[in-house]
Chain A
Amino acid sequence: MTADPGSMQKCWIYVSESTSSDSVRTADVEAIVEGSILRNDSLGVTGALLLCQGRFAQLLEGGRESLEVLQRSILADPRHRLVTTLADISIDRRAFGDWSLAYSGQSEFFAAILNDFALGGAQAGSAAAAEKVLQLFAEFARSLPQKSTW
């Protein structure tokens, strides 16, 4: 993994909502994952994506310039809307060894966590709701292999 030696590293976490009326379709998930793996690998970006009941949550970490490229692209992606930043911070070291789809499904438990950080809801952006999303990523970072086995 390229670690951008000498340059500042950043971590960006956001939650967003699918523009598709249904949950994200399997074919769409495959396309998103395939495209993300290629793009993130070429940019030296690591992290994880969660897809649950029409909500996206993604953690991306990498060099400042690489993340800015990705941010622009993600903000302009018509497949989702209401991109809400949860954290956009400088980091000393990364949590993930590569980029992967950490979860894609209909889990009611995960949906509740993402919905608590509800886009436009009463709890929107509350510290407690944000903390739960951060903890979710921290757990996935802990449980996922640190290096890709591919």
Chain B
Amino acid sequence: MDAVSEGERPVYAVNMPGLDDPGLRDMIEALGHPYRNLADADAFCGRVGELPPGVILIGVGGSGEGLAILRALRTGRCLWPVAVLSEAPSIPLAVEAIRCGAFDFVAFPPPHGILEAVLHEGFSQLTAAVEEESRRKSARDLYLSLSPRQAQVFEGVTLGLSNKHIARKYGLSPRTIDGYRAAVARKLGTKSAFAMLAIRSLAQSGDVDDG
């Protein structure tokens, strides 16, 4: 993969051999964005956290093959804007792409002027996406810094349980729960149950629902 300097905001094309065309590269680079066409989607998904944030274009076949890349990115907590391009566009595929988290779905080859508009929209969403990723990561780091017992007390507090109730649930004294609760408040920087709920919600955003 070509190197990308810090501060640059690239366009990553994944699973789209057809997009490795000089005209397209020139068009995207004329918009001021380095263009990276990546054949190896798995490698991209694995390394995406180390790359400069950018807009991602994913090629998807008529049966939806390629959407797994988008799902893998979101499961891996990458929120960068993704547009899906397909040589076999259809309404079911478009709806599925949006449900998977794409901000747009475009027929390939894109009609004249469409890709510029799509990239413009993608880059307009990029900063907010990176900030949201960062907020979720901070919340998750805070959550993961809790010991197992602190995490149990934290869960109890965010469920609105009283210290007495949490104590009963884990066979501990309310005084002990007081101590854990104070430790949790110190680590998270807040005593507020509402703020803790917000941290839990952010920390768990994007988790696959296995319930």
Contacts and interface: CB of A to CB of B under 8 A. Distances in A.
A108 B117 contact: yes
Contacts of A135: 91
Interface in B78-98: 89, 91-92, 94-96, 98
Most buried by B among A103, A109, A135: A109
Interface stretch (A8-16, A85-93, A136-144): A136-144
A105 interface: yes
B172 interface: no
Chain A, interface SS category: helix
Contact of B118 (A108, A113, A140, A143): A108
B95 A140 contact: yes
B89 A109 contact: yes
Given A139-B95, A143-B95, A109 B105 contact: yes
Given A103-B98, A107-B98, A143-B99, A132 B91 contact: yes
A136 B110 CA distance: 20
A113 B91 CA distance: 9
A110 B117 CA distance: 14
B92 A139 contact: yes
B27 interface: no
B104 interface: yes
B91 A107 contact: no
Contacts of A71: none
A136 B95 contact: yes
B95 to A, nearest CB: 4
A106 interface: yes
B103 A106 contact: yes
Contact of B114 (A103, A108, A140): A108
B209 to A, nearest CB: 9
B208 to A, nearest CB: 14
A139 B91 CA distance: 7
A26 to B, nearest CB: 10
Interface of A: 103, 105-110, 113, 132, 135-136, 139-140, 143
